[in-house]
Structure 1
Amino acid sequence: MAYDTLLTHVAMDRGCEARLRMTADVARVLGCGEVIGLGAQAPWPFSDERDGTGPDFERLVQSARSDIAVSESAFRDALAAATATASWRSEIGYPSDVVAAHARAADLVLAYRSNEATVSFAYADPEIVLMEAGLPVLFMPASYAEFKADTVLFAWKNTREARRAAALALPVLSKARRVLVASVCHERDLAGVEQELADIARRLSRHGVAATTLAEVGAPGSAGSRLVRIAETDGSELIFAGAYGHSRLREWALGGVTRDLLSARDRFVLLCH
């Protein structure tokens, strides 16, 4: 298994150049053969002509296409020196929906956590992409950081999502120099969690990945923030985890590890749902 084809939505703002540089870094480190840039934007503001055929609506569509053309130019310039093939596709529509639909062409989606990401007509919502793409999603930091992934933290909890993540992240883990499998648990569960970590370490070793383990006792509700602090202390350049082990509604109401990891805007986070 390999991440041969990457897909990323390209939205022009102050962070676009940094995101495209990181995209090129990821393609180089993972040895990808193709990077797909995706231009997507919905007409805005909405026209009063509901059937979408009037001159006002057409003007909005043309404006969106002009913005997408600027995005394409930036994408091609940024990937010009890359060894991977740079291909482009575009569609008028809400970026979150368009990214999920075009994920069919990729092995890995590169996403971002922009301050403007709530502007749904121009930006792909990171949580929607994660829920709907059906692929591993690599979230890039808010500002430029070189993608190395030499040191990786695997945030473990014995859920379906985490068990699946252990397989889907192998193309990254196999390139890492050091892998730490860490879990935050209640003291009464410590012995069982340590056994789980030992099982995961053995599983990874059969794929050529040497991993160390860490079980840390933490208060209920603190797992996400504790895992981020462990990554900081350990110097982990990348965190990966299974996403939304509870229902998404519960994650929204109570916080949850997934939301905490998505808030770690200074490092790369690979999530699988």
Structure 2
Amino acid sequence: MKTILLHIFDDSSLESRLQVALDIARGHDAHLTCVQPTTQFTPIALGPLGGEFVTGVNFKDMEAAERAHREKIEKRLKGEAVSWDWQVGLGDAATILTERSRLADLVIVSQSFDKRDASDKPLPIAGDVAVHAQSAILVVPAEQMSFDCEGPIVIAWNGSAEAAKAVRSALPMLKMAKDVHLVTVGEDHGNFPHSEASLYLARQGVPTTLHELTGKPGEASDIVMDFASKYNAAALVMGAYGHSRLRETLFGGVTKDLLGNAKIPLLMGH
């Protein structure tokens, strides 16, 4: 992990994802790029008379608030022992983070709900970024105020291409973890059982402990989280949306459950 993107937005979870980002940047001697979507706006001329698009939103005040927020965070970052820079992007946050993930190792966002209300909850972008990002994505719960780079890590393995990508993307973090637990729930998974994942990781210098957990598919998210809690895991590595995203939205699914309810950071790949 040498290039980390951090979503900057003035919401109630910024502090948690910033703290986690700083811990990971220090632990991996990585560079932190703060990505701030902006509301900068130029009136659009409409019609032959050159009339301008009119809105009741005060963009000048919004831009001033963004500048003040940036200055506040930059002042703080100058006191941290990390390499960092600041990037401003015009557009929605999920799209900007996805585009800039092409040359990044990790994107850090906050756990969020399906819908945003009028409060200061984080934007509901974790699912979109997890599906489209070209790097690993770390989804941070609001209560998480630190990250132990040497802490145990649990891998939720189901033999999918998404899980395999998550494992490959997580290699730098897995190599630093003191223990790596590779778990499956229910039956073995076809041509790529957890023993194959364990062998792959062994060749990378990452020893694993294999666990076969019993339970029904609909209980998988609770079973995996209970296991992670038991072993005091610093993070859970998993594939994002192994089924179609529409199917998970309609019928539930491990990804959907954990994105909304996980108590530890999720390191995801798709």
Q: TM-score range by the shorter chain?
A: 0.7 to 0.9
Q: Please tell me the residue identity of whatever aligns with 2:135.
A: L
Q: Is the 8 A contact 1:20 1:75 kept in 2?
A: no
Alpha-carbon spacing, 1:28–1:124, altered in 2? closer, same or farther (3 Å): farther
1:16 deviates by: 2.3
- 1:151-196: per-residue Cα shift (whole Å, max 9, x none)? 00000001111122221110110000000000101xxx35x67982
2:13 and 2:110 in contact (8 A); partners too: no
- Runs of 5+ in structure 1 lacking a partner? none
Alpha carbons of structure 1 residues 195 and 140: separation in structure 2 relative to 1, 3 Å? closer
- The answer as to whether partners of 1:141 and 1:268 remain within 8 angstroms in 2 is yes
For 1:18 and 1:257, locate their aligned partners in 2 and report how far apart those are by CA, in whole Å: 23
CA contact (8 A) 1:240 1:269 kept: yes
Contact 2:113–2:124 at 8 Å: present in 1 too?
A: no
Deviation string for 1:48-85 (max 9, x for gaps)?
98799848559743333223213322331332233332
TM-score (norm 1): 0.85
In structure 2, distance between residues paired with 1:115 and 1:56: 31
1:40–1:98 contact (8 Å) kept in structure 2: yes
CA–CA distance in structure 1, aligned partners of residues 21 and 254 of structure 2: 25
Paired position in structure 2 for 1:64: 62
* Structure 1 residue 125 displacement after superposition: 1.2
Q: Given the superposition, is the C-alpha separation of residues 239 and 160 from structure 1 closer, same or farther in structure 2, using an over 3 Å criterion?
A: same
Name the counterpart of 1:174: 175
Judged with a 3 Å threshold, the aligned counterparts in structure 2 of structure 1 residues 49 and 219 are, in CA distance, closer, same or farther, namely farther
Counterparts of 2:164 and 2:173, CA distance in 1:
16
Distance in 1, matches of 2:76 and 2:115, equals 22
Matched residue, 2:234: 237
Question: Within 2, Cα distance between the matches of 1:117 and 1:146?
Answer: 26
Residue type at the aligned position of 1:210: P
89, 92, 114: which one aligns with 1:91 = 89
CA distance in 1, matches of 2:81, 2:104: 17
Kindly tell me: are residues 56 and 195 of structure 1, through their superposed partners in 2, closer, same or farther at Cα, counting changes over 3 Å? closer
| Distance in 2 separating the partners of 1:269 and 1:263 | 11
Kindly indicate whether the alpha-carbon contact (under 8 Å) linking 2:159 and 2:192 is maintained by their aligned counterparts in 1. no
Secondary structure of 2:89's aligned partner? strand
Q: Report the Cα distance in structure 1 between the residues aligned to 2:172 and 2:73, rounded to whole angstroms.
A: 25
Deviations 1:29-54 (A, max 9, x none): 2221x21111114479xx99879984
DSSP-derived class of the 1:158 partner? coil
Coordinate RMSD, CA, aligned? 3.0
- Gapped runs of 5+ residues in structure 2? none
Q: Which amino acid aligns with 2:157?
A: W
Counterpart-to-counterpart distance in 2, 1:213 and 1:53: 66
Aligned partner letter, 1:181: L
State the TM-score, normalized to the length of structure 2. 0.85
* Equivalent runs, 1:194-213 vs 2, <5 Å: 196-213=193-210
Q: 1:163 to 1:195 in 2, by over 3 A?
A: closer
**Preserved contact between residue 40 and residue 63 of structure 2 (Cα < 8 Å):** no
Distance 1:78 1:202 in 2: 43
Name the aligned partner's letter for residue 245 of structure 2: R
> What is the CA–CA distance in structure 2 between the aligned matches of 1:53 and 1:101, rounded to whole Å?
33
Q: % of aligned pairs identical?
A: 25
One-letter code aligned to 1:183 = T
Give, in angstroms, the shift of residue 123 of structure 1.
3.1
Q: Which residue of 2 aligns with 1:26?
A: 24
Distance 2:68 2:94 in 1: 19
User: What residue number does 1:139 align with?
Assistant: 139
Count of residues in correspondence between the two structures = 263
